[in-house]
Amino acid sequence: MKSNILIIGAGFAGVWSALSAARLLDQAGRDDVRISVLAPQPELRIRPRFYEADVHSMKAPLGELFEAVGIHFIQGSADTIDAQGRSVSYTDNHGQLQRITYDRLILAAGSQVARPAVPGLVEYAFDVDQMESAMRLEQHLVALASRPESPARNTVVVCGGGFTGIETATEMPARLRSVLGEQASLRVLVIDRGATVGGALGAGITPSIVAACEQAGVQWLTGSSVVAVDAGGVTLDNGEYVASHTVIWTVGVKASPLTAQIAGERDSLGRLRVDEHLKVIGQSHIYATGDTAWAAVDDLGNHALMTCQHAIPMGRHSGNNAAADLLELQPVAYRQPKYVTCLDLGEWGAAFTEGWERELKLQGLEGKHLKRQINSVWIYPPAADRTQALAAADPLIPVV
């Protein structure tokens, strides 16, 4: 019977884990190990683009790619991880309960938007966290045109002024104009608990955020929090009420709840602490990668963020190292000392920074050109060509 490397999740970290494990098995000439990917759909959903329009197109099929490199896909959703018995119970695409055993497990189940106990949040707020919820928002925006003209109809409230909130807000005026017309009186308001506009992203990038928001007419209400959401708008912590038919929640993310089923140390986001090879500390057969992993990127105290920038190279390492562990080969230490950001800022352009202090390198249209290249080319999986795909999965490729 073949050994089994089981990967939960087909996001950036899951896809690249599978490809990297396949690469090492190919190099070792081993055909006695199966790589299985368990996920709800055989597609990579391009989550970093869910703030854009046409969300339904933000995906890349994986069937031909997995077939080309010999990866077994299982359509289903993981329910229970039994670390002692080395098995995972899941619900398949027919709604039936199934169970699969593993020799090495790679948890690449991603993350989800954090939903605190704010009254009305679940019932009335939208988000751009998953494809289904982003499509629900898009359908809602289109339907606004059929509603009577009112300030509430024409007002979008974005809760949270972090990366996702800013990209969503600066894209929103163009999206609204395409629905409500060029002459519509629009209001896009970002509500953020921070003291300054874009303060969470640092001083280097703030001027670009301010300029883009001024051009787009995006307003900020800083030093404020939303304490309740209802069908007509939001209530702020100072008692003020903002009327809006479109409230979008972007305040923070947390690791997949599956992480709670694995014994180990976690950070405040629920991510499992891993060693330099991305093995969960305290576990012999389980690796965590991408948004489920609390992983050091350097020796200076910096840790990977919940972004595809980190998930892709982490996947290349976790897949390689899980296979190396099984084959008793030398693993490769994960390190990613270079950190960059590329923040989309709507029609104004984008801002590209380098370093953890986010030193501005490109902005405006130059930054936008780079952002489009990242979003449309760099973060997509390789073509369904075995040689090219395996070469692209090398963990020693220099990473950004």
| Three-class SS state of 248 | strand
How much is the mean pLDDT over the chain?
Answer: 97
Q: In the prediction, which pLDDT does 214 show?
A: 97
* Averaged pLDDT, 75-83: 98
Q: In the prediction, which pLDDT does 39 show?
A: 98
Q: In the prediction, which pLDDT does 1 show?
A: 77
Reported confidence tier of residue 346, pLDDT bands at 50, 70, 90 = very high
Query: Positive or negative, the Cα torsion across 307, 386, 88, 91?
Result: positive
**pLDDT tens digit string along 370-379?**
999 999 999 9
- pLDDT at position 89 over 90: yes
Within 8 A by CB and 6+ apart from 1, the residues are: none
- pLDDT at position 400 over 70: no
Residue with tokens 């903002």: 242
Neighbours of 130 (CB within 10 A): 16
Beta-strand runs (E) in 111-169: 111-113, 155-159
Give percent of the chain above pLDDT 90.
98
**pLDDT tens digit string along 14-48?**
999 999 999 999 999 999 999 999 999 999 999 99
* Averaged pLDDT, 68-87: 98
**pLDDT tens digit string along 301-313?**
999 999 999 999 9
**pLDDT tens digit string along 189-222?**
999 999 999 998 989 999 999 999 999 999 999 9
CA gyration radius, the chain: 22
Contact 325, 153 (CB under 8 A): no
**pLDDT tens digit string along 216-264?**
999 999 999 999 999 999 999 999 999 999 999 999 999 999 999 999 9
Q: H helices within 40-86, ranges in order?
A: 63-69
